[in-house]
Each structure stands twice: as C-alpha cells, then as structure tokens.
Amino acid sequence: MGVISAIGNSVAENHQSLKNATCGVSKEFDLFPTKYAGLLPFGQVPISTEDLQKQLLVNDPGVTRTTLLALHALNEAIADCGISAEEIQSFDTALIGANTVGGMCLTDELYNDANEKTDGSDYLASYDCASVNLYLQKHFKIKGIINTINTACSSSANAIMYGAMLMKNGYAKRAIVGGTDCLAKFTINGFNALHILSSDNCTPFDEGRKGLNLGEGAAFLILEKEEDIKGRKVYAELTGYSNANDAYHPSSLSDEGDGPFLSMQGALKVANLTADKIDFINAHGTGTENNDEVESKAMIRLFDKPPAFASTKGNIGHTLGASGAIEAVYSILSLIHQEVYANLHFKNTIPSTGLTPVQSYTKMPVNHIMSNSFGFGGNCSSLIFSKV
Amino acid sequence: MLYIHKTYCISAQQDLLQANIELINEAVDKKLLAIEPSYEKIPPGILRRMGKSIRMGVGAALPLISETDNIDGIIMGSANAGMDDCVKFLNQMVQYEEGQLTPGSFVQSTGNVIAGQLGLITKNKGYNITHIHLGLAFENALLDAMMQLNTNQSNTYLVGGVDEISPFHYNIETLAGSYKKEDISNKYLYETDSPGCVVGEGAAMFVVNAEAASSIAKVAAISTIHSTDIELLKQQLNLFLQKNIPAGENVDLFLSGENGDNRTLPYYTACETLLADDTAVVRYKHMVGDYATVSAPGLWYACEFLQQPVPEHMFKKKTSKTEYRNILLYNNFKGLQHSFILVSNL
Amino acid sequence: METAELKLQVKKQIIEFLNLISVKPEDIKDDEPLFGEGLGLDSIDSIELIVLLGREYGIDIKDPKEGRKVLADINTMVAYIEQHRTK
C-alpha cells in the first residue's frame, strides 16, 4: 500500500495522524492563486509541485501534480509490497487507476490551449484523466491491462473493483489499483458554485454541518490472488464490492438513499456476509447536508442498528477520485491494528437519524470493514475488506 | 465472450449501408460531424442542459433501452465526455474572475455524465460505470461487460462508446498535431502520405448478454496493448489468433482502423502481413473519422457485415468470400494504445 | 420599469439563462411554481437563477433556502427584484 494526503506522505505517517486525530485541513493554502485562498479550508498535501518533481526525479515536461501524487503513492506501494520490476512488467500485471481532475489542475494552460491563445503548451497530452496512467505505464513499463475509470467521487472504489474482476476472470494475476486527484481551481469553483463547500472545517454527520472541504492525495494498493502471494506480507482480503446507481439527481442523493443502500447490500452479497458481521463502516461522510443524512438513513435501512462508523473527510477533506483508494488504505489500517479512528469536529447528532459516529481513537476487534464512496451521477460503490 | 442483440449508431454516415453505397458524406472543414437524430426520447427539460456528446450518447442509448425488457447495468466508454462543459465552466471562471458561477456546466463536466444521465432518465439502479482510458475507453467497457456477464449470466447490459468533436478539444488536438494540416477530402483519406487523421465523432450502443439465441454477433475475445513496438504488437497478435481462432478457421475479414496517418500506418500493415491470403481487408475511418472511442462504430460495422454485404469503397483487399465468420477489428490510437476485438457469427 | 415589463424581461432571461428550448415567455404564468410541477426546474436551476439575479440585478442571495422562497414563481421573483435591485 502507498498513500499521500494532507496528513502524511506515507502509510506510516497517515497512520500516526489518524491515531492522533490530526486535522490536515486548514485555510493555509499556497498551491496556486485563487480568490478562495485563506477564505475556504483545504486539505492540501504540504509539498509544492516543484519539490514533488525533485523528490521523484521527474524531469519530463508536461507531468501534472495529479500524476506526481499518483507516482509518489505508487512508488511506496511497490516498495512496500516488494514486487520486482519483472513482475510489474509481466503481461499479467494490470494497472487500474482513477481520477476526476486529470490535468484540469492546469487551469491557465488549459484555458489558453483550448481557446487557441498559444502555440501549444507542454501539457497538450496531459489534460485528460487517462494521462496519469499513461505516464505510470511508461514509467514502470507496464504491459498488462491498463484502464482509467471515472465515476466521479466513487472512481477509485470502482478501480479497486475492476482490478478484482480482472483477476477473478483470469485477465490478470496481479492488479495495481488506486486513485489520485489534486486540488484545482476548477473543482474549487465548481463545488463552490453548487454551494456545498463549507467555510469552516467540515463536520461529517453533525447536525450543524455546512458542507464539504476539498482535499487532495493519492493511494495505490497491490492486489494478488491468494495462490500467487509467494510469502509476501498480506494486509487484508478484499471480500466484497458492489456498484449501484441512485438514479435520482445529477449532483445529490435521493431521500430514500436507494443507491447507497443497494451498493452496501450488494457488497455484503458478494462477500457472502450478513449485515451483523460488519464491525465498522468507513463512511463517505462528506459533511454536506444531503450526503450525511441520506447515507445515515441508508445505513439504518440496511443494518437496522448500524455498526460503529466514522468519516475521515475531517482529517484530509474530500479527495474526490482518490478518496475510495485512500479510504481503502485507512480501512485496512483499521484491520491490521484492530482499531478505529475518530470522526473529527462532530458535536450533535442529526435529529432525523440519531446516529453518532466514533469520536475518538478506539481499540476494538475489527474483522470486516465496509468502505463507502458515492459520487455525482448517482454512482455509489461499497467495498468490504476482511482480516486475514 | 458476449452476444450482441441490438445496436444503434450515430455517426457522420448514419444511413450509409442502406443508401447508395458509392455515396459518402463528406467532411466539412476536415471534420466528420455526426448526423444527429431528433432525440424525441430525451425529456426536453434534460436535453436543454446536454452538450453534444451527452446528447449523442443518451440519444443513441434510449431507443435501445426502451426496446429491451430489462437492462441490468450501463457501461460506457468515453475519453472526453463532458470536456466541452468543462472548458465552458473554465471560461466562465476566467471571465467572472471566480465570482458567482452557474454550476450547470460543472455538473455536466464530469466524465461519468452519460452513464449517470442514462441511469437517471431510465431509473436504472444497477451497475453503472464509465471507462475513460482514452483510446481504450470503449474496449475496457466491452471487457467490463464480458466480466460482468461471466459473473451474472442472466443479466443484460447496455455498452457504448461516445465522443464528440468539441471546439476546445479540437483546438488542443490541432495544437498537438493530431489532424491533417493539408486540405483533403475524407474520400481520399488513404491516398495521403502525411501525418494526422480526419477527426470524427459519434455514439455506438450495444445491448449485450450471454445468450446466443437471436443475437446478431458474438464478441469472442478482446485484447489491449500499450506499446510503440511493432514486433511486440505482432507477437501479441499471433498469440491472440492462436488462442482465439478455432482450429481449421481463419480471420475472414480484417476490419482495419487505418486512418490515413503515415505515423500509424506501419502498425496496420504489420498486422496485415500476419493474416492469411484469403483474409479481406476493410477500412471504415474515411466514413466516421478517427477519435478515441472509434472502435465502437467499428464494432457496429462488424455487426453489419455479418448481416449484409460490405460496400465496395470500404475494401482495401477483396477476396472471393462474400460471407464472413470471423471478423478481427484492430485499432491503434496515437501509436500507443492497441486493441484486437474478435467478432464472429454464431 | 413597469412591473409587467419587468416580468416579461425576467421570463426572457430565465428562458435564455436556462436554455429552456421550446418554452416561450407567454408559456410561463406569473403565479405558476417554477420548480417541481410548473416549469419542472430543479435545484441546480435554482442556483443558476440566483446567479442570474446577481449578474442582471446586482442582488446577492447568500442562503439557498431564502433563494427558494424568492424563486417560488414569477410574482415573488419580480417583487423581490423591485425591492432589492442595485442595478
């Protein structure tokens, strides 16, 4: 596993920050000039793009921050897993990545190139989301199946699911799966235009929640079939996954929460588990009025009395296309260390749901953990990771 | 493996196979623009917000969905759906200096917007996903459908590929040297010896399941490769043929994605050299142009050729055969992303 | 500007701003709800119309809930514009 976020540049740093209930979201922002710098809180990875380039020894022109964050996380995952270059370059190693911002972080370059105001910048091939995985393909000389998925904020949960499907169907022995997204003027203004950005730190599942905070980061995981592990360390088993659509509204969830309900239910079915076996839910919990209430209602519908749950959006913000993969890493940390992490900034339960998330770092037995990701376009996905 | 039961295609040559086969719609300003239908099935309240790729995708899919009893999931491939709205929002952001902005185009700018809108309009709560991996976005959608059907054998899925020539994307690709600089007609696309292609756009949709009965075609296998190495490509094609062509059979028709770009031509000719003498070679990009998800109309043509004759102007090499059992589609996107799709009759 | 004239202008602006193809100003009744039934607009349209009020009439509505009241129908919208417009 490899991860980079506002609360750390590695799995170990993220783990320590989660235990300490560190909040990486603040109004200190210096990535690029925007009217909202200092006004809205963001979960910025505290390394400049130039320093990332230097650290990662990337000299090629046209490499975006989205790609650099992905490369940082993937380097860690590969080192952690200990797979060889030969294995990475084998025809049965797949790379499935997700992101929603792509090169859109280069607002000014894209504006100039798309409106014919230049002779062409270095970034002409970098704007689309596939550019991240095409770079990683070249960098690591990957020969297996490569894909990029976009289901908005549930993108990398679907990347993990697609990787698992490729292995199950014999198209790959090993799948490198994950997601990345960086902060961009484009998404900041977009979410702001929808009036769902909070001017304070987001407060998932709190009665007085005022919206989400945007964050950035990346995470990659390496999946292998049980029979191919060859003595490597195994952190967890991906036992359940499911994707469903809410079919209600382009940018918000239905009152009944059919999409979230169906995706959670579907994941239980694939894992062949009853609802009472889930010990903890890593909730999508963005801190918007709509998401948290609907997600709570769907949990009540499925579980009757939902298990312990929390959202990590208070720690790192909403990392969009990366969130499913980052939170998969966090869920696996819970399984490895038999502990769960605090849902930050919570004060009062939402009266219509009466649900209270976990509010402090807690040691507890965790055998099966569910992780939710819901996105625009009604795209809902749930994953289940189990202790090995 | 999957079976195709229904198809629908929006392209620059909508009625080509029904109409006079010598007639080819010509590119305007070197762009093969899609002939759009009237979209009667899209509710006007939703249509008003749709950009062209969303309109084409949803418009091509709705007739198929309404003719099918039950669609269990929607699987889209699109490299740049939403790109036009994305730049519209960006331009607004610059014009109003990040002031009060309208969110409509932001919501429509996410790559998953076609599958999302289809789910919404048809109240389909099943599997819903969008593959956006550029020149292999549609191929991954097709592969996804195969895998879904392997697990859920009684299901039926809608699979499609959609992309548009948006003004902004056209500008970016022009700067990147993707298109022909000289003035040429698409009719003479293959006579050129210069870099660049003629750009196209469109939407092709397929209703697929695991049932052979009453199907049009079988997608027997699919393979994708990332490489610029011609030798590796040849090696992979040989492996693909060994693995997937039944003993005693041949590729009867090679549906080539040749696009008039002299930079990618060597890949297409390399594939042709590996095929048997009695394999017909047929091309289609003088009709629909080239774009990231062009394999979708390619697959649509393959389905047509199992049902009716190939128009003369599409042949690069004609053979004595008039009926085809195994059709091999090969596409190459920008010299790096390759795909083989084997389509056969039942 | 007379109220009737302003109503017509607002209707034209709504049609243009929301790209309401095939809707004419006379199709929009003054007391018919803009959202849900009536014109069938949704929450994204309501935000778009708040932006319209800002750009065309210099009205700044911060709270979307207040916006929903103002945007109930043409009568409420025009009454609010007449009281609060700054341009």
- B45 has a chain C CB within 8 A of its CB: yes
**pLDDT band at residue B44 under the 50/70/90 scheme:** confident
Q: Which has more pLDDT, B299 or B44? A: B299
pLDDT in tens, A46-60: 999 999 999 999 998
Inter-chain residue contact A148 with B144, CB threshold 8 Å: no
Question: Residue B18's pLDDT is what?
Answer: 59
Q: Is the pTM of this model over 0.80?
A: yes
| Least Cα separation, residue C1 to chain B (angstroms) | 26
So what's the ipTM on this one?
Answer: 0.97
In a domain, C27, yes or no: no
Range of the structural domain that residue C70 is part of: 3-20+35-84
- Which residue reads 């910025």 in tokens? A44
| Domains B2-209 and B217-344 are alike in CATH topology | yes
Pair of tokens at residue B99 = 């002031």
CATH number at residue C64: 1.10.1200
Backbone angles phi, psi at B220, to 5 degrees: -80, -35
- A25 has a chain B CB within 8 A of its CB: no
**pLDDT band at residue B45 under the 50/70/90 scheme:** confident
Rg (CA), chain B: 20
pLDDT in tens, C30-78: 998 888 777 778 888 888 999 999 999 999 888 777 888 899 999 999 9
**Range A138-151 average pLDDT:** 97
Question: Residue A106's pLDDT is what?
Answer: 85
Q: Is A153 a catalytic residue?
A: yes
Separation in Å, CA A285 to CA A64, A251, A310, B165: 28, 15, 8, 37
Inter-chain residue contact B168 with A259, CB threshold 8 Å: no
Domain boundaries, chain B: 2-209, 217-344
User: What CATH number labels B217-344?
Assistant: 3.40.47.10
Burial class (CB in 10 A: 0-12, 13-18, 19+), B146: buried
Inter-chain residue contact C48 with B104, CB threshold 8 Å: yes
Q: In terms of CA atoms, which chain B residue is nearest residue A377?
A: B116
Provide the β-strand partners of residue B194. Answer: B261
For A339, the enclosing helix (H) or strand (E) is strand A339-340
Inter-chain residue contact B133 with A249, CB threshold 8 Å: no
Q: State the total domains in chain A.
A: 1
In a domain, C58, yes or no: yes
Q: Which of C44, C51, C64 sits opposite A251 (nearest CB)?
A: C44
Statement: residue B19 has pLDDT above 80: no
Local structure of B211: helix, strand or coil: coil
Question: Residue B49's pLDDT is what?
Answer: 87
Pair of tokens at residue B163 = 């992309």
**pLDDT band at residue A228 under the 50/70/90 scheme:** confident
**Range B264-269 average pLDDT:** 98
**pLDDT band at residue A154 under the 50/70/90 scheme:** very high
| Least Cα separation, residue A156 to chain B (angstroms) | 12
Inter-chain residue contact C42 with A249, CB threshold 8 Å: yes
Which DSSP state fits A287? S
Residue A126 CB neighbours (<10 A) = 24
**Mean pLDDT over the full length of chain B:** 94
Question: Residue B15's pLDDT is what?
Answer: 61
- B100 has a chain C CB within 8 A of its CB: yes
Range of the structural domain that residue A93 is part of: 2-386
Taking only residues 115 to 134 of chain A, the set having a beta carbon closer than 8 angstroms to any beta carbon of chain B reads 115-116, 118-120, 124-125, 127-130, 133-134
Which chain A residues have a beta carbon less than 8 Å from that of C43?
249, 252
Q: State the total domains in chain C.
A: 1
pLDDT in tens, B208-263: 999 999 999 999 999 999 999 999 999 999 999 999 999 999 999 999 999 999 99
pLDDT in tens, A88-119: 999 999 999 999 988 888 888 888 898 888 88
- Which residue reads 């590996």 in tokens? B274
**Range A5-15 average pLDDT:** 98
In angstroms, the CA A4 to CA B141 distance is: 29
pLDDT in tens, A252-277: 999 999 999 999 999 999 999 999 99
Question: Residue A231's pLDDT is what?
Answer: 84
- Nearest CA to A381 among A338, A329, A312, A327? A327
**pLDDT band at residue C87 under the 50/70/90 scheme:** confident
- Which residue reads 């006007």 in tokens? B44
- Which residue reads 């918007």 in tokens? A288
CATH number at residue A189: 3.40.47.10
CB pairs under 8 A between B and C: 26
Question: Residue B151's pLDDT is what?
Answer: 94
**pLDDT band at residue B17 under the 50/70/90 scheme:** low
- Which residue reads 């006379």 in tokens? C26
Q: Which fold has domain B2-209?
A: Peroxisomal Thiolase; Chain A, domain 1 (3.40.47)
Pair of tokens at residue A101 = 């911002």
